[in-house]
Structures are given as C-alpha cells and as structure tokens.
A and B are shown apart, each in its own frame.
Chain A
Amino acid sequence: MKSWLLALPLIGLGCTAAAHPLSSPASVGTSTDTQTTASQLCAPLDAEHLSAHYLIKNEAGQSWQIRLLRKDRNLIVQRLAQADVQKQAGQQQVQSFESWTQDGEYVRYFPREKRSITYRKGDLRALNIQYDGDSLYHLVPSKLTTELEPGAQSQQGCFATQTYRGERHGVSMDLAWIPALALPYGFSHHQGQDALSYQLVDASPLSAAEFDAMIADYQDLDFADVGDSESDPFIAKMIHQGFIQHGGSGFYDSEGRPLADGGHGH
C-alpha cells in the first residue's frame, strides 16, 4: 500500500507530490514547497478513483480522522482515532478498516491477521442493520445540496466549492461542497450542545490497482459462517473483543467500540 498518509501535513511530515494541497481552515498544505508547486499539483481528480482524508472534531474537542477511498462505486473507509494516526506514523497497522462494495456488501478487514469478514446484503438485513449508501459514498447525504440554502461559491485550494446552509430536522448545518468530487470540503452541524465538523485534509488520485492492493490476500469469512466457526481462533478472538455482532448495530470502530448507525459512524 502506498504510504501517503505518512506525508500528511497534519502530522507534520510534508506533502506527497500527488496530493492536492488545501488552504485554511484545514490549516494544512502551507509549506513553501507545497505552495510553490500548487498549480502543478492541481491536476484533475477522478471522483470515482480517489483517496480523501478528513479530520473530524466534536464539541468536546475530540478529534479523529476518516480516509475514504473510492474505486468506481466501491469504498474503503478507514476510521482513525488519534492513537491510530500515531500508530500509522510509526508504520503500525490499524486494527481494522471496512469497505462497501457497489453491490451493497460490507467487509470488515483485520490487517494484522490478514482476515476479513463479509456481510452480504441479506446478512445485513437479517441483522436488522440499515445503511445509507449515499451518505457513505459522499460522507454526507448528497441531497443536502438540494435541501439546504445555497450560498457563495469559492475556490478552496484546488477545489471549486459551493456553500450551503440551513436546518434539517432541527440540526443547523454548514456545508462546503466540491461538486467535481461530490464530496464535502467542509461540513459542520450542531444541535444544542452537540456539534461535529468535518474538514477535508487531503485528496489524491487512487488507482484501481492501489485500491485492490489494500484488500488483496485477505482470508475472508462469510458472516453467515460465523455460527459454524466459533472454534476458529480468529473468530473466537473477534467475538471476545466485541467485533462480531451481538445486540448492537454490528459495526465497530478500530477499538471495538460500537458504531450507532450501521457503519456510517458519524
């Protein structure tokens, strides 16, 4: 796997040649080298073959990151707590990441063990797990661009953005949308004391081969077979650590904490 995350300005290690530098408020991509080469780095990105990296903060000041990788309509999502970011900086593998295929399959990958578990659509339904493919693909519901009030257009680094603002179901939202990528440049919502913000940190091209390499050579288990596989030490460990569904949504972050909404997790 290309180790581009190591070069993220966020953790102070410079910028890859392929990455699109971003301006404030992401507060990244400000090194002299990056600024001087910005124009040559703004080659068009293919919205269906890219890697986008977001910083997420909540009202308590906690932050974590998401990397969204697209190949056609297939997704890989890595959720990184700050501790995970440090691990990656030290070239240690995160405990798990997940993917969604264009056919609606959800796959949980465990890099350390080179094992994966595939939840097919029927399994997800049988587990009563709902997911919103549109929100997964765009990180936010794309219909926000029609439901919120449009505002100013502007250039943010390499990206032409359209802002939107409004309220939905009692939640105030601000969205800076990159139409070319069908992704947010920035997004924040707050309701009472609760607040959450996303900020694009970095976006770069991702070839199909790079995408495929991230999920190659995993020994996969169909979730339907978990019931017949509890003698498998890997499955036993995953169950013990809470990675295998029981009672909750069935989706967990890289530390085994349950995610509330079917893998969307935010």
Chain B
Amino acid sequence: MAANAAVLPTTQTDSQWFKDSAANVAAKTQLETKAHAKNVILFVGDGMGISTLTAARIYQGQQMAGNKGGEENFLSFEQFPHTALVKTYNTNQQTPDSAGTMTAMATGVKSKAGAISVSDASLRGNCLSSKGNELISLVDLANAKGLSTGIVTTARLTHATPAATYAHTPERDWESDANLPAEAVANGCTDIASQLVMRDEANALSVAMGGGRSYFIPNDVTDGENKKGKRKDGQDLTKAWVDKFSNAAYVWNQAGFDAIDTAATDHLLGLFNPSHMQYETDRSDDVGGEPSLTEMTAKALEILKKNDKGYLLIVEAGRIDHGHHAGNAKRALIDAVELSNAVKAAVAGTDPDDTLVMVTADHSHVFTIAGYPKRGNPILGLVHNVDGSLAIADDNKPYTTLAYTNGPGAVEGVRDDLTSVDTQDKDFMQQSLIPLGSETHAGEDIALHATGPGSQLAQGVIEQNVIFHIINQAQQLGGTKY
C-alpha cells in the first residue's frame, strides 16, 4: 500500500525519521542495476559477524564530531543497495573455520574445516586424499579470462582466507615446506607459499600483499625486521617472484611500498611482516613500517586497473578475528572500521557502472551487545541506564555493553569490579562466561553487502558458496552458464 501523507498526522510526516526513510525507499524504487561487471572487488572481514558490524558502526560514529550518539552511523558499505544473510557452516562443523568458509566463497563448493579449496571428499591433513579433489577458484577463472587478479590481507598471505583463493591443500597449516609431513611430500603436495609464487605467469596474481614473510624465505635468512625465515628447502620465494614474473617487484616495508611505481609494476608482492600484519591500532609500532589496509587496497587498484579487460580483487581484514579471539573488542572494532575505510576508498576509486563491490565475512564470533545502555552510551563502556545511572548486575557490580560468551576474559570465581577500570582502553579484555584459551567463532549467519553490476543477486538467505556464483555470474567468469 502506498503511503498517503494526507492521512498521516504532521507529527509523523514532519519527523526526520519519516522523511529520511521515505527518501531512502523512494531512491530504491529508481534503482537500476546492470547485470554484468567488468571488475569485482570482494572484501572479507574475517570474523566480522553482525554484532561486530553494529558495534563498529557505533564505535566509529562516536568518534565523529557532532554525532547523535553514534548509533545513527553507517559503515561505508552498510548503505549498499543489496544485502543477503549468509549461512556459514562447514560440511563437517556447525560453527565453521575460515578455511572451509573461504573455500565456499572462492570455489562455489562447501568443504571441511581446515580444507583449502579441496572438496569435502578430502581428509584433512592427508595429501593423497586430496588428489583429484582440487577445486578451481575465482582467481583461476579470472586469470583464464585474461583479467588481472589481486589478493590483499592484513593476515599472512598464506593464512586460510587468502590461501583459499589461490592454493589447494587439505591442511591449512601447510603454509611453508617446513609444515609438510612426509606423507604430503611423498604424495606431491606443496606448501601454500610456494603455490602462491610458483604459478605460470598466465595464472599469476598481479598483486599479493599482506603478512607472512617468514613462510617465503629460507630458515637461514634473517629478514629486514630481524626475523628468520621458516623454509627448509632453501628457496627464497620473494626472489623467485621477481625472477619469474614480468615487471615484478617485492617490497617488505612502508618505504618500499611508498616507492612502488605502479605504472611500471605488473606483479607486486608485498610481505610486510614475518607473520600477520599489525592490528591497525598498533601499526605505528611496526619495526619496518606497514601500510594500512586502505593504502594496500588503493595501491592494488592502481595496478589492477591497468588491465582493460578488468580485474578481480579480494581484500581481507584478517585481524578482526584475532582481536575477538583475544577477547579484546577494541582492536577488533578498530580493524573493522579500517575495513570500512578501505571499502570507501575502493568505491571512490572505481566506476559504479562497471565494478561490483561486495563486503562480507567468513564467520561470526560469540561477541554480544547487551544490557540496556542509554542512547550514546560509549560502546566500549560500562552500561549506563537511560536515566544516566550505572547499571548494576545481581552481583552488585557494573558490567560492559560488549562481552563474549567464551574466551580468555572468562570470570573464574568472583567477577572483577569494573567500577574504576577504563573499559574503553584498547587493552581492556572484555569479560566472558566460559573459560577458553581463545574466544571462539560463532555459528550464526553473517551479512553480505553488495553494490554495482550484479549486486542484485545478493538477496535472501543464502549458502556461503552462492557468493562464488554471484561473482561468476556477474563477471562472466565461465564457471557456469550465465
């Protein structure tokens, strides 16, 4: 039924809530979305469940001058026109891990936890069982079509999420040759780092940036940040990258990153940390200096856009997950906000008529927003009631809005009194219920936000592997009929 303003009282129609939402819906009625995209950018916030989106948007909103409490804010991608809910389970786990979930997104096929783009028929950690069960990924398809491809992450490039876009292995932990068991070697499985570099030029990544340097260099080599490599085979894969590919460059620190001439570089490998890159809030402490996720995204686009046929770029904010695992909400939220910044930069730097931009997560975390805090209550703070009074739990102590169901912040014995604790400090560890060494993933659905050509395919509640098919369909990658 169309709204008839004539029968509505002015107290309703003059409301800014009413006006804004009416304008929003009116804009949607004019929305036209093309079917096919020249370019696709897929952002994945590792562990960025819906409660993380909510808390991150409030956190960001509360930093803004003139905010009305922060709740009114949107992360940069939350006003994309199309949205879906995504079911994340693995074929063998109700609550998933990143390997199985990214395999679903990258190949269109759900698989087991721990599996990197090999099918469910493989046994985890068994090389022989994976033979013949390797799955073709979006990167393989895009390269075959002549597009440029890129992977950017703040985790190790060999970590499960980025790895599932280019590697095939039954064990996510086989990141360097030093991790391969005898069975894997005997049956011809290779490590993830080597699978990133030792590719034919026609199927090479044009951009690969993230952490994980030690998995690419020999164990008798000390890198620029005074850390030794892990490889036992003596291979320096950073050198191999430069030797194998045309117009190739390798950088490991901020200075090298800043000096890259994107016009002259067609294959860029950036490894900015021996392991994962820093949390965004700790980035300035890095020994060699690291670019932000936003900076890496922008640099990647400069290189990928040189291909007139188009490109596929996959960007992971890998450390949201780690902040949550540590029970440390502020680091997770700051990294989620940085992902929002990276998306904003990508949208600003691309043509909405030819570029599909999607933002999703691989899985959620047991991260809760609770109590009845007043509007504008600091999202990292103690709960204050609508009248401003401190909310007190049944143990006569205050409590925070943000908490975890399980993890390292578990209360054992008597709960700490947080009255004089700065819960908004970046090092504050939220309280939790169940004591676990590491807070866990959660099994509820996550969100998919999409804009640009083909984004209308993001709708309803979908299996996670549908994301592959949306990209395949929109970018006409040839993985199925379209």
Q: When the two chains form their complex, are residues B437 and A239 in contact, meaning their CB atoms are under 8 A apart? A: yes
Interface residues of B in 423-463 (CB under 8 A from A): 426-429, 435-441
Is A228 at the interface (CB under 8 A from chain B)? yes
Interface residues of B in 271-295 (CB under 8 A from A): 275-276, 278-279, 282, 285, 287
Q: When the two chains form their complex, are residues A120 and B412 in contact, meaning their CB atoms are under 8 A apart? A: no
**Within the assembled complex, what's the spacing in Å between the Cα atoms of A231 and B441?**
14
Q: When the two chains form their complex, are residues A224 and B410 in contact, meaning their CB atoms are under 8 A apart? A: no
**Within the assembled complex, what's the spacing in Å between the Cα atoms of A7 and B178?**
35
- Residue in contact with B438 in the complex, picked from A122, A125, A219, A230, CB distance below 8 Å: A230
Q: When the two chains form their complex, are residues A227 and B321 in contact, meaning their CB atoms are under 8 A apart? A: yes
B159 partner residues in chain A, CB cutoff 8 A: 225
Give the secondary structure class of B's interface: loop
Q: When the two chains form their complex, are residues A246 and B408 in contact, meaning their CB atoms are under 8 A apart? A: yes
Binds A, one of B59-67, B250-258, B324-332: B324-332
Q: When the two chains form their complex, are residues B435 and A227 in contact, meaning their CB atoms are under 8 A apart? A: no
Q: When the two chains form their complex, are residues B428 and A125 in contact, meaning their CB atoms are under 8 A apart? A: no
Number of A residues, CB within 8 Å of B: 31
Minimum CB–CB distance for A75 against chain B, Å: 14
A250 partner residues in chain B, CB cutoff 8 A: 408
- Residue in contact with A228 in the complex, picked from B97, B230, B408, CB distance below 8 Å: B97
Q: When the two chains form their complex, are residues A126 and B331 in contact, meaning their CB atoms are under 8 A apart? A: yes
Q: When the two chains form their complex, are residues A125 and B275 in contact, meaning their CB atoms are under 8 A apart? A: no
B436 partner residues in chain A, CB cutoff 8 A: 239, 246
Count how many pairs of residues, one from A and one from B, have CB atoms less than 8 Å apart in the complex. Answer: 90
Contact with A along B398-436 (1 / 0, CB 8 A): 000000000111111000000000000011110000011
Q: When the two chains form their complex, are residues B326 and A126 in contact, meaning their CB atoms are under 8 A apart? A: yes
Is B173 at the interface (CB under 8 A from chain A)? yes
Is B323 at the interface (CB under 8 A from chain A)? yes
Answer whether A247 and B408 are a contact pair too, CB < 8 Å, given A128-B427, A128-B428, A224-B319: yes
**Within the assembled complex, what's the spacing in Å between the Cα atoms of A226 and B322?**
9
Q: When the two chains form their complex, are residues A222 and B276 in contact, meaning their CB atoms are under 8 A apart? A: yes
Minimum CB–CB distance for A41 against chain B, Å: 33
B160 partner residues in chain A, CB cutoff 8 A: 228
Q: When the two chains form their complex, are residues A127 and B328 in contact, meaning their CB atoms are under 8 A apart? A: yes
Interface residues of A in 204-250 (CB under 8 A from B): 219-220, 222, 224-232, 238-239, 244-247, 250
Minimum CB–CB distance for A251 against chain B, Å: 13
Q: When the two chains form their complex, are residues B275 and A246 in contact, meaning their CB atoms are under 8 A apart? A: no
Is A253 at the interface (CB under 8 A from chain B)? no
**Within the assembled complex, what's the spacing in Å between the Cα atoms of A101 and B222?**
14
A238 partner residues in chain B, CB cutoff 8 A: 437
Is B98 at the interface (CB under 8 A from chain A)? yes
Minimum CB–CB distance for B479 against chain A, Å: 28
Answer whether A247 and B225 are a contact pair too, CB < 8 Å, given A103-B287, A126-B279, A231-B114: no
Is A118 at the interface (CB under 8 A from chain B)? yes
Find the B residue at minimum CB distance from A244. B437
Answer whether A232 and B173 are a contact pair too, CB < 8 Å, given A103-B287, A227-B321: yes
Minimum CB–CB distance for A132 against chain B, Å: 15
Q: When the two chains form their complex, are residues A122 and B279 in contact, meaning their CB atoms are under 8 A apart? A: yes
A121 partner residues in chain B, CB cutoff 8 A: 282, 285
Is B265 at the interface (CB under 8 A from chain A)? no
- Residue in contact with B225 in the complex, picked from A103, A226, A227, A228, CB distance below 8 Å: A103
Q: When the two chains form their complex, are residues A118 and B275 in contact, meaning their CB atoms are under 8 A apart? A: yes
Contact with B along A110-129 (1 / 0, CB 8 A): 00000000101111011110
B287 partner residues in chain A, CB cutoff 8 A: 103
Is B385 at the interface (CB under 8 A from chain A)? no
Q: When the two chains form their complex, are residues A246 and B435 in contact, meaning their CB atoms are under 8 A apart? A: yes
Is A102 at the interface (CB under 8 A from chain B)? yes
Minimum CB–CB distance for A65 against chain B, Å: 28
Q: When the two chains form their complex, are residues B322 and A125 in contact, meaning their CB atoms are under 8 A apart? A: no
Q: Enumerate chain B interface residues (CB-CB to A < 8 A).
A: 97-98, 113-114, 159-160, 172-173, 178-179, 225-226, 230, 275-276, 278-279, 282, 285, 287, 319, 321-323, 325-328, 331, 407-412, 426-429, 435-441
* 10 A-B residue pairs with CB within 8 Å: A102-B226, A123-B326, A126-B429, A127-B326, A224-B326, A225-B159, A226-B325, A228-B325, A246-B436, A247-B435
Q: Which are the 4 A-B pairs with shortest beta-carbon distances? A: A227-B325, A227-B438, A244-B437, A126-B328
